[in-house]
Amino acid sequence: MSNTALTEAVYYILLSLIKPMHGYGIMQNVEQLSNGRVKLAAGTLYGAINTLLEKGWIISLPGEKDSRKKEYQITIQGKQRLESELLRLRELIENGNRILEVK
């Protein structure tokens, strides 16, 4: 499992895919989760989706025969990577709070 930090966009995409979702739904969900701070353009989203598919962190679900909408879902490996990132972020926060003496 890679210890490389996830980009904020990838982090939110993986969080979004805990439940199956199509591309437009991911874009909307990421914007909502980030309180409007992260807005994904279609090119950015689908580039990230292709990378996540290659890494095996998400899968493409079989769709309805006549539907153009593809749904995606996080895999066990993707969920483990997301959990690893959450632990990394917690460590950053704890260290920052300790050094800056923030309560």
What confidence tens digit (pLDDT) does each residue in 44-71 have?
Answer: 999 999 999 999 999 999 876 666 789 9
The set of residues, in sequence order, having a beta carbon less than 8 Å from that of 62 and lying 6+ positions away, is: none
What is d(CA 30, CA 60) in angstroms, rounded to the nearest whole number? 18
Q: What is the dihedral of CA 70, 71, 76, 77, to 10 degrees?
A: 40
State percent of the chain over pLDDT 70.
92
Residue 16 amino acid letter: S
What integer pLDDT is reported at residue 31 of this predicted model? Answer: 97
pTM: 0.89
Q: In this model, does residue 75 exceed pLDDT 70?
A: yes
Higher pLDDT, 2 or 87: 87
User: d(Cα 84, Cα 81) in Å, to the nearest integer?
Assistant: 5
Q: Read off the pLDDT band of 42 (50, 70, 90).
A: very high
